[in-house]
Structure 1
């Protein structure tokens, strides 16, 4: 198509997705770690209705790269998957709830102690569908707050299914980043679920520093490398593996069992539970080492 007048045409808007200049998986890992820390603070208030009004403790695992095939392979029993959309563009994300935690919450809702039937049913009962609808609403509300609370980043559940094939949330070969969340409440076993983000969705709702500019510190600012701060010991934790397994698998563990472990390509370094840097695992003089790739 040929335009007759350059003045009559709108200014071009270059889309990072079309130009292929969006952030990579490695760049999105620390962004998702920070998002997870915010979610751990916001989500308990939205989940308080499931714990008798008392906000639970939410713990976030380290981000893992995956795809729909690997998510399906990690699920050993019945599970429910919910396709959620972010903003007016409907950018997709996927929440996964295994059957055991859902049935545990249902038993508690009816005054029980969270007993999970053994064996698990082949399909989820209607009560589970009603509970999942409430969970989806709570998680969507928390994510909307974490993403900024604006309409362009509002999160809403679209549909759910126990089959990823029939749900078909996005291309099965698409690279995803998955975040596992564990909910702890006094007097009950912890329960967990996960959220998986395509790269484009995560890039749209997070700020990824592509070329950070180092600024000179003010002359009056204290120097953390100088005394008395420089010699203070600070415990630093490198999280190599953070895994979640179902209740049924946990209770059936015995000596000799082998648990497959997926080590994340970007290992977070944490101080007091907050991620300060990420790196890759290597070796220096026959000792395991972490090479810093990005620091915050």
Structure 2
């Protein structure tokens, strides 16, 4: 039944409870979710690089997610690098892929039959051969990310544009909160090479689904009790990853006593069993020892 409003009265818009609507994923939820995406990406990117390089599938290792900003990315880069603005899904949610010069020139040299030598000193710009190779890597990374995100039309990743200057590329605001993934590629007989990905937290919040309410266990399903045998006495090595960093090969080869390497400890430290993240926490102190206080377990 429709009820007419008095003449001149305005209809009040419905207000929805925040408790019913829920809020976006928190940082503690985004970090483990991105870790799981990184695990899938290591497999899909390995297969894609094997097809691109025409060789056996390399080992792709993905570091722990680290928080940062565009300014911190720029501070970590020495010399020439190529930055690619990518978008996710039809909404065009932005993300950033960064390829430093040394790995690119190493791959270019291999493409022309070399052993992966890097010019010294590095040039001030990428030649056409390097630009063409970067475009192939961009496409391979975009396809691997699309598959890691779910492989459907809502998660297709596309390379939009690239520049050697982050300031000119301007993929997002310099102070925007980001989560970064470093990827290292290892191939038999060659030096490892790396690339990095950066996601605004708003991008991840738009493509990662976090359950609003925990699922209820079925009444007839009896979950195994980890405190009962034979599970209770099984030893499982657990590691807390405080720092996971990528250093350019040229800088690594020039390290000497007294050098200082700035590191950033993530606000959310992952606890891992093997390669799977089981919990996250924050660093603190207990009885004069470094400790991790668990803030999220899954």
TM-score (norm 2): 0.90
> Which of 264, 286, 289 matches 2:288?
286
CA apart distance, 1:153: 1.2
1:229 aligns to what SS in structure 2?
Answer: coil
Cα deviation code 1:104-159 (max 9, x no counterpart): 00011111111111111111111110001000000100111111111121011000
2:245 aligns to what SS in structure 1?
Answer: coil
1:35/1:243 CA distance change after superposition, 3 Å: same
> Which of 197, 202, 210 matches 1:200?
202
> Which of 22, 25, 33 matches 1:23?
25
CA apart distance, 1:212: 3.4
1:73 is aligned to 75
Using the TM superposition, name which of 93-102 and 283-292 deviates more. Answer: 283-292
Higher Rg: 2
1:258 is aligned to 260
CA apart distance, 1:255: 1.0
Runs of 5+ unmatched residues, structure 2: 6-10
* Cα RMSD, aligned residues only: 2.4
CA apart distance, 1:210: 5.0
**Does structure 2 conserve the Cα–Cα contact (< 8 Å) formed by 1:51 and 1:185?**
no
Q: Which runs of 4+ in 1 moved over 6 A?
A: 11-14
Aligned length: 286
> Which of 268, 274, 281 matches 1:272?
274
> Which of 248, 251, 258 matches 2:250?
248
How far apart, CA to CA, are the structure 2 residues paired with 1:130 and 1:13?
53
2:105 is aligned to 103
> Which of 52, 55, 77 matches 2:54?
52
How far apart, CA to CA, are the structure 2 residues paired with 1:54 and 1:164?
34
1:174/1:220 CA distance change after superposition, 3 Å: closer
1:154/1:268 CA distance change after superposition, 3 Å: same
1:13/1:202 CA distance change after superposition, 3 Å: farther
Runs of 5+ unmatched residues, structure 1: none
1:217/1:55 CA distance change after superposition, 3 Å: farther
> Which of 110, 114, 117 matches 1:115?
117
TM-score (norm 1): 0.90
How far apart, CA to CA, are the structure 1 residues paired with 2:218 and 2:261?
48
1:53 aligns to what SS in structure 2?
Answer: coil
